[in-house]
Amino acid sequence: MPISLNPEIASAPTHATPPCPHFGPCGGCQLQHLTYTAQLDKKADQLRMYLDAAKLTLPELQLHPSSPLTYRNRIRLTLSEFGGQLRAGYIRNPDPSYESGPAFLAITQCPIAAPILWRATEALLDELTQRPDPWLKRAPFTLDQLELFTTPDDSPAGAQLQISLFVRTGDKSLPSKFTDAFTALCESLRTRVPALAGAGIYLLPRAGRSRRIEQARPGPTWGVPGLNYSLPPLEPGTSNLEPGLTYWVPRSAFFQVNRFLLPELVSLVVASRAGVPASSGSEPEPESEPRNPATGSAWDLYAGVGLFTRALAPHFERITAVEVAEPAFTALASTRLPNRHAVKSTTLDFLQAAVLQRDRPDLIVLDPPRTGAGPEVCELLGRIAAPTLIYVSCSPETLPADLATLAASGYTVAALHLLDLFPQTTHIETVAVLTRVTS
C-alpha cells in the first residue's frame, strides 16, 4: 500500500551490506549498498528532480514499496564458457572503479530473482554440461542467452516455469536432430525441475547487436508455449480487483517482472479509473457514485497481453485494447471478454484514426515503453480529451515532457505514485492520474 515520505528519514541509517556477492562488478543492481528506505528516498528525489524541470503543479508523491529481494519473475542471463565450464551471468559493470575483467561476469546467485529461476539455471547448466554433444561440441551455433519466466507462486505445487534458450548462428534453421535433442534435454530437466512447463530455442544472428533491436527466429520447442499467470490477492480490504484475474502470457511476450507488487499496480489503476486518486490509507476510498459496470468505455493503449484490460473490463460497457507486438497481441485477442475489442495497431496510428472518427472514451490507460509516449501521441490524447487519463511510465526521463504536453491541453495531475517495481536498481515506475474539466 502507498506510504508518504517521513521527514525524519534523513536521520535513519542509509548504508547497508549488499545482499549479493556480485554487487559492484555486476552492473544490474546499483543500490544494494543502501538500506531499502534510503533507496526509496533516493528514487523519490530523483523523480521529483525530473518532474520539477517540467514546472508542473503536482500532488504529494505516494510511494509503494516492494519486497526488496526475490521479486523478479523473469531474468535473462548471458551464457559463456568460463574457466572451461558453461556458466551463466550478466554483463560486467563498465565503471573503471571496479575490478576490471572480461565483459562477461559469471555469477553464483541472483538475490533479486525468484529462487526457482536460479535453481532451474543451475540444473540446466548441469544438463548441458552432461550433454556436450550436440550442445557444446560441433554445434552449428553458440549458446548465447538464457531467459527464465515463472508464475508468482513458486511453491512446488503451484509453480510453472518457461525457459528460452537463445543461440547465435548463421543458419536460418537448426538441423532436425536438435528437435529430438531438445525434447530429451527438457524432459530430463523436468525430472529435476518439475515446474518446467515449456521451453523454446530462439535463433539470433551470428553478429551480436543490441538486445533491444535483435529479432530472434523461433526454433525447436517443447511443452506449452506460455504460462497462466494469476495475480495473487492483496491484503484483505485493499484490493479493487475482481477475483480470479489470470493471464495467458506467451513465453516471449512482455510482462511486468515484480511478482509481489504487480497486484498493487493493477489495483491502483482500477481504483483510479474515475479520476479519484487511490487512498493512501489501508483501504481504498469508496466512489461517491458507484459506476454501473454496463456503461462507459475505456482504451488500454500499449496493452501488451491485457494486464489492465482484464482488470478494467468489468467496469465498462466496452474496452478497446491496442497492441502491435507479437505474440502479445495474439494473447490479447484470445482473451475471452465479451466487451473487449482488440486492435492490432501502433498507438499513434490508432489515435490518428480515432481523432478523425471523433471518438472519446471515459478513460484512457497508457503504458508506453521507455521511449515514452512522445509529443505526437500526447497531442492526439489532448485532442481526444478523455475525462481521465492514467499514464504508467517506466522512464522518469521521458515522463516530464509527456506530462507537460498533456498539461498544455488542459490536463491536471490529480495523483502521483512511485511504485518500486525494481528494488536494488535505479529504475523507477510511475503512475500519474490525470483529469480534465470537460465541457
pLDDT over 80 (residue 209): no
Percent of the chain with pLDDT over 90: 76
Q: Are 256 and 307 in contact (CB under 8 A)?
A: yes
Q: Which helix (H) or strand (E) holds 106?
A: strand 104-106
225 CB burial (10 A radius; 0-12, 13-18, 19+): buried
- CATH number for 36-68+231-435 (one of 3.40.50.170, 3.40.50.150, 3.40.50.2000, 3.40.50.300): it is 3.40.50.150
Q: For residue range 17-57, what is the model confidence (pLDDT) as tens digits?
A: 999 999 999 988 999 999 999 999 999 999 999 999 889 88
Per-residue burial over 149-176, b if 16 or more Cβ lie within 10 Å, else e, is: bbbbbbeeeebbbbbbbbbbbeeeebee
CATH 2.40.50.1070 placement within the chain = 74-224
Q: Are 4 and 62 in contact (CB under 8 A)?
A: yes
* CATH architecture of residue range(s) 74-224: Beta Barrel (2.40)
Under the banding of pLDDT at 50, 70 and 90, the label for residue 244 is confident
Distances in whole angstroms, Cα of residue 185 to Cα of each of 148, 163, 201: 16, 12, 12
Nearest to 105 by CA among 203, 21, 202, 166: 21
Q: Which position has the grid cell 490508432?
A: 350
pLDDT at 154: 82
Return d(Cα 66, Cα 287) in angstroms, integer: 27
Sheet holding 363-366, edge to edge: 61-64, 412-419, 429-435, 388-393, 363-366, 297-301, 318-323, 340-344
- Specify which residues 227 forms β-bridges with: 249
Mean pLDDT lowest among 198-212, 251-265, 412-426: 198-212
Nearest to 367 by CA among 299, 284, 272: 299
Q: Are 120 and 148 in contact (CB under 8 A)?
A: yes
As a whole number, mean pLDDT of residues 69-91 equals: 93
As a whole number, mean pLDDT of residues 154-182 equals: 93
pLDDT over 90 (residue 342): yes
Under the banding of pLDDT at 50, 70 and 90, the label for residue 290 is very low
CATH 3.40.50.150 placement within the chain = 36-68+231-435
Concatenating the DSSP letter of every residue in 219-232 gives EEEEE-SEEEEEPP
Share the mean pLDDT of the chain.
89
pLDDT over 90 (residue 7): no
Q: Which triple of cell numbers denotes residue 337?
A: 471478454
Per-residue burial over 400-416, b if 16 or more Cβ lie within 10 Å, else e, is: bbbbbbbbeeebbbbbb
Under the banding of pLDDT at 50, 70 and 90, the label for residue 284 is very low
pLDDT at 363: 97
pLDDT at 328: 96
- Specify which residues 222 forms β-bridges with: 199
Distances in whole angstroms, Cα of residue 162 to Cα of each of 26, 319, 326: 25, 30, 17
pLDDT at 280: 44
Q: Are 381 and 26 in contact (CB under 8 A)?
A: no
pLDDT at 283: 44
Angle at 17 between CA 422 and CA 82, to 5 degrees: 75
Q: For residue range 357-392, what is the model confidence (pLDDT) as tens digits?
A: 988 999 999 999 999 999 999 999 999 999 999 999
Under the banding of pLDDT at 50, 70 and 90, the label for residue 276 is low
pLDDT over 90 (residue 215): no
Return d(Cα 144, Cα 332) in angstroms, integer: 30
pLDDT at 33: 95
pLDDT over 80 (residue 127): yes
